[in-house]
Structure 1
Amino acid sequence: MKPKQLLTLLTILTTFIGYAQNTITVDNNLGVVEVPNLIYANLQDAIDAAVNGDTLYIQPSATSYGDAILNKQLSFIGRSHSENNKISYVDNIEIYPNASGSIFSGLYFTDKIYFTDENTVNNLIFKNNYINWIDFDFTTGGINNFILTGNVVNILGAPSSITSPIQNGVITNNIFLDDIYIFYPETVTIKNNIFFCYTSQILITNESGNNTELVIENSIILKLNANSGDVSANDNIQFTNCLTYSPNGDIFNVLAGSGNLSNINPQFVNVTDNVFDAYNDDYHLQAGSPAIGAGTDGEDIGLYNSSGYLFNMLGITYGLPSVNITNITQTVQEGEPLQVTIQASSN
């Protein structure tokens, strides 16, 4: 992808965040009182009440907000995808072309994000989410301008029986736990991700059906389980300045491509033998790591590179406002004022 394309896509994020017209709170916790156009317990009701450009704050809850259909441009902001007792769960969300320009951040999608309309959806941003599956079911439509950054993703795309048409996509600084399928590799940037081989091989597939190469840059592929498989990559996939490693001493096959570091410890600050441990894993590189400066253009290999993007293991949305009561009068006489000290901040 040309640098100009990448800059244009990243500019979308700034443009859309500043576009919100109104804010609506979605909260299904016990005791919450609904207020039309302000507070809803049901996610679909909130979507139906919103207008293009609105922001929906999805409050943490032990109960999922279920399924929803999205046919307008909205921003969805959850608290986190992995912070204890502060997770915003959504099951399925079906996205239609009128939802072009929507943003999703800080959410835990337990099932699918999927697209079934035959028209193109434009300008979608997924950031700081845990996503079970982004499932594409287009035959004539697709996604144009797609940013996937800072997420934990099980599956991206689907096999060739269901095309996976992403055009002008930026897929960076994510953790992938399972397979990915890419249909238009010539317009997709995939770099600075971590791919896990955990219980089986990880499948990385170029679905283009032509001779266009899919290039994966500056990424780390880990085999954390002694019974894991290897990387299964079909033809026309090139790994550039990537690193493979297994803490168990298993040996990866040599990756196709150039500048790769095979079977070398990246020297993370800390990594457990779990597939993803939000509280105990730390994928920053220690001083002296062979991955430092070993990427393309002298960048670091792995989640954290010169872009300055800060991968958040808990999936907390940066800049989310919060209010804390720091002091309150314990008792007051009838008719006397109650004194409360409130501190506002953003994470």
Structure 2
Amino acid sequence: MKRKLLFILPALLSLNFFIANATIRTVSNRADKPAQYTLIQNAINASAMGDTILIAGSATIYGATLTIDRRLIFFGEGMNNPDGQSTIIDGTVNINNVNNAFGASGSKFYGISFTSAVFMNGSFTGQLAGQNKIENVDFDRCSFTTYISMSGQIYNNITLRNCLFNGGYLHLNSSTYTNFLITNSVFSTNNTVIISTNNVNGQVYVRNCNFMYRTADVLSATGLVIENCIFYQAQPTGALLSTFNNNLTYFNNSNTLPYGNNAGGGNIAGANPLFTNFPALGGNFSWTQDFALLSGSPAIGTGTNNTNIGITGGNSPCIHNLPGNSKLPVVTQLTVPVSSVPVGGTLQINIKAKTRK
């Protein structure tokens, strides 16, 4: 038996990215891939703080509104799963707190496409000063086609890594951020993609991202730190009191960085990054594009700390494009050595799996 299967078996408990003694729950809306739950919210409601929820990829979207009010780990099958179907959540997602001791801080999301809005809100009834916060939330290998909104609260240690904003944007509607990182991600939309209502005071870092296909201001924000990013047919304008270090611009009406009251240095203006496969005149994101840098690219080794500029550099580098798959391993071989076992006997099953980068 050598079918390629998504490895969402209890054996995953042995892998080091699961928390010891946490419960794993499975969700699937597919008749051919049964699970414990068909609705994600039911799995959330049954979970305790720190539990893990595995959501099967499906041709049918998961469309209900979700309320996440406890620390959970969510694994989908990827935003562009090469081994099968992707996990798509089309309902509005609310990431909330219940009280000072019970809330969604610490939640992680891997390999999920969000096609409706994602709201984060740390406020709760009876809160004291400084308690209305969301902390330590990660989105890894996720895509957004509408927006993420974070309003009026305190946000610490929020990370978006290897994510795709394909028509979506990030709305920072708060003035209190600490160590907010957007890294090795792609923004592809003819909209303003990072918006801040207030000055984020140098605590929102945008690193090693590719911006593309925006004929007007990419930004509408104050106090950003933008480093090692490529702006290809994406106007890097609209920022105030921000820092631009070691970025590359190409095919824009305005390629000069920094501008206005912004600061920074080491930027490369009006230079073709020499992607392996990308439309010469720019364009929207496609999974067939190859952002690997050709020999002679001005983006090779010219970022901060001599890293590449763009998504192939930094701490979470991509090889050719964003990783469309989940981080879950894939079973490559499953064999049953014997055809039968006696009553009360032990059935031995041999499983081979591979990790995915």
Per the normalisation by structure 2, the TM-score is 0.76
8 Å Cα contact 2:208-2:314 kept in structure 1: no
Structure 2 equivalent of residue 300 of structure 1: 308
Say if 2:277 is the partner of 1:277: no
Q: Deviations over 1:102-143 (max 9, x none)?
A: 00010000111112443211110011011124432523x132
Does the residue aligned with 1:158 lie in a helix, a strand or coil?
strand
Structure 1 equivalent of residue 265 of structure 2: 258
CA distance in 1, matches of 2:62, 2:156: 28
Q: Deviations over 1:28-76 (max 9, x none)?
A: 1025555xxxx11100001011111111111100111122100010010
Given candidates 131, 139, 162, the residue that maps to 2:144 is 131
Structure 1 equivalent of residue 3 of structure 2: none
- Which consecutive unaligned segments of at least 5 residues does structure 2 have? 1-15, 98-102, 124-131, 259-263
Q: How many residues align?
A: 308
Superposed counterparts of 1:100-249, under 5 Å: 100-118=105-123, 119-139=132-152, 141-153=153-165, 154-158=167-171, 162-163=173-174, 165-178=176-189, 179-182=193-196, 183-198=199-214, 200-207=215-222, 213-223=223-233, 230-246=235-251
CA distance in 1, matches of 2:241, 2:326: 36
- The one-letter code of the counterpart of 1:276 is F
CA distance in 1, matches of 2:227, 2:351: 47
- Which consecutive unaligned segments of at least 5 residues does structure 1 have? 1-15, 208-212, 224-228
- The one-letter code of the counterpart of 2:290 is D
- The one-letter code of the counterpart of 2:284 is V
- The one-letter code of the counterpart of 2:237 is S
Given candidates 316, 321, 335, the residue that maps to 2:329 is 321
Change over 3 Å in CA distance of 1:308–1:73 after alignment to 2: closer
Change over 3 Å in CA distance of 1:129–1:308 after alignment to 2: closer
Give the fraction of aligned pairs with identical amino acids, expressed as a percent: 29
Q: Deviations over 1:240-269 (max 9, x none)?
A: 2111123xxx64342214222112111112
Change over 3 Å in CA distance of 1:251–1:156 after alignment to 2: closer
CA distance in 2, matches of 1:308, 1:116: 27
Say if 2:31 is the partner of 1:30: yes
Change over 3 Å in CA distance of 1:72–1:261 after alignment to 2: same
Per the normalisation by structure 1, the TM-score is 0.78
- 1:274 offset after TM fit, Å? 4.4
Structure 2 equivalent of residue 94 of structure 1: 94
Higher relative contact order (CA 8 A, sep 6+): 2
CA distance in 1, matches of 2:323, 2:314: 21
Does the residue aligned with 2:182 lie in a helix, a strand or coil?
strand
Does the residue aligned with 1:259 lie in a helix, a strand or coil?
coil
Change over 3 Å in CA distance of 1:286–1:143 after alignment to 2: same
CA distance in 2, matches of 1:244, 1:295: 13
Superposed counterparts of 1:63-102, under 5 Å: 63-66=60-63, 67-83=65-81, 85-91=84-90, 92-97=92-97, 98-102=103-107
8 Å Cα contact 1:196-1:202 kept in structure 2: no
- The one-letter code of the counterpart of 1:74 is L
- 1:201 offset after TM fit, Å? 2.0
CA distance in 2, matches of 1:106, 1:308: 15
Change over 3 Å in CA distance of 1:165–1:284 after alignment to 2: farther
Structure 1 equivalent of residue 11 of structure 2: none
